[in-house]
Every structure is written in structure tokens, then in C-alpha cells.
Amino acid sequence: MPNGSLSDQMCSDGANRLTWPQRKKIILDVAKGLAYLHYEIKPPIYHRDIKPTNILLDSKMNAKLADFGLAKQGSEDESHLTTRVAGTYGYVAPEYALYGQLTDKSDVYSFGIVILEIMSGRKVLDVLDSSAGLITDWVWTMTESGKMEEVFDQSIREGQEKIMERFVLVGMLCSHLAVALRPTIVEALKMLEGVIDIPQLPERPMPLGHESFQSSLLNGLQSSG
């Protein structure tokens, strides 16, 4: 993979090298890869560690999912409960980190985080600005304040704003705290492609940066490590 990982492209000024068409294609490629894992393979496979370092880019910037070391086969009919939570802080779905409930929606949550990172050029957690909190909290704040355009990475702000807005909204929906409110990856892909409409966003969930969530999420990951 000559172009390394998505993380390589987004390091320091790397995000500015990604054009809007490239970002759009990467997001769609990842969605298609997850749709294959969740629906084309029987029983389905849950990746459990969707993040920029595990998304590799070939010479034509086609995105491929990598590192299946944490992947787990799931049941087609019910969620998988596990006492050993695996994944990377910031990308792990809350219900999985807190209760060990693993479903296809766990990968959808991670995918939503990656969408927001790609669209904004920001990392899931801004270590240089502690007041910004997690990317989900920041995006919700910007959107509710009518400042959606500020979510877009500066290098792509002059472009197809309506389509970019759709991608951000899908990212917000996929990374919603409530499992039932997240779309399946197939539904998310159709929303991204404009095949189906995006439902009205539900009420804003409690910010993940809230102390009660932070301590519980960290404890869940540390106890299972």
C-alpha cells in the first residue's frame, strides 16, 4: 500500500493533501468494506478496531480495511456479549466498552468517528486543545450553533457543501450513543450515496466528554486489557 494508512495522510499537514473527492471515496470504500464483512460473510465478521491506522491506501487512493487481529465472528440473530473488550479508546462504541455488547452497530460507531475525522481533519481527541473534547461533542456543538461549515477541513470548504453536510450528518448519526438510533452500515452507505434520505437527527446525546462516561469507558477498556 504505497500511500500508507489514512492516519499517515492525516498527520500534521497531511490532511491538507487529501482532496474532497479523495476523502469522499475513502469514506465510501470503508463503508463498502464493512458492508461486505457484516452482510456478505456468514456468519458476519465484526472488525472491532476501525480507525485511520487500520485503513490502508493503495496507489490510486483506494481504501482497504486492515488488521483483523481483533476481528470476531458474530451471530446473525443476536448481539455477542463478551467480558473482554478490545479496541482503541475514542473509537470503541460506548455500549461495547461499558457492557461488552458487540453488534454490527459497534463497527458503525467507529465508522462514524472516522467520517468526522476525515471531514474535519481533526483527531478523535484533540490533545492540544483539552477544551475541545471528543470530536463527536465538538461536531454536535458546531452543528447546533449553525456552524456546520466550520466542521469541514479548511482545505475543502469551497466545494460541494451540501454533499459534505450529508457526510457529516451521517457521521453524527453513526456515532450516536444510542445503538437503536444508529443506521446499519448498508443504510449508512445508501445515505452517503444519496440513495435514501437521512432521517432527522435525534436529540443530542449526553456528551461523551462528560465525566461519568469518561471514567466508565476508561475503566472498561483498562479492565479488559
Full DSSP string of 131-196? GG-BHHHHHHHHHHTT-GGGTS-GGGSSS-HHHHHHHHHHHHHHT-S-GGGSPPHHHHHHHHTTSS
Contacts of 119 (CB under 8 A, 6+ apart): 23, 151, 152, 153, 164, 167, 168, 171
Separation CA 96–CA 106 (nearest Å): 7
Residues known to be catalytic: 49
